[in-house]
Amino acid sequence: PGTYLCAGCQTPLFESTQKFHSGTGWPSFAESIGTHVEIANHNNPLQMTLLGAELRCQTCGGHLGDVFADGKLFFGTPAFQTGKRYCIDGAALLFRPKEQEQEGGAHNADNDTVLVRGDMPPPTKPNGDLPDWLKPPTIKAV
């Protein structure tokens, strides 16, 4: 549990309780927090269902993704209740776990609040090793 924030300005956008699996490959939410997410172009209902309407952060104007009026297709999810599906670009999000909100935030060595970039935390590798194709070439001393 936690809150998804705008990656540009850290404005709270979505509660994790509103996130659901839509099968689209994009993080999907049923409802935003307050008026922090705005529809940039108002389409008619048919266009909004089929093509979506662009979403932007109301604070910084950053592009977030699109909203579709097809939430009723996702029976058993929060979107079924709202009738909307906020389809958000994972790179436009930061995730702040609930524990950090309650405890004033976990901090790293620079005393910055630790946030997870994107929709999901990156997979961890033992010892922080890079994949072979990203490792620099070995230079032999002569």
Of 65, 54, 60, which Cα lies nearest the Cα of 92? Answer: 65
87 has catalytic annotation: yes
Choosing from 6, 9, 57, 87, which is the catalytic residue?
87
Local structure of residue 69 (DSSP, 8 states): S
Q: State the virtual CA torsion across 61, 94, 16, 47 in degrees, nearest 10.
A: 40
For the sheet with 37-39, list strands across it. Answer: 19-20, 28-29, 85-88, 63-68, 53-57, 37-39
Determine contact, residues 118/90, Cβ cutoff 8 Å.
Answer: yes
Known catalytic residues?
87
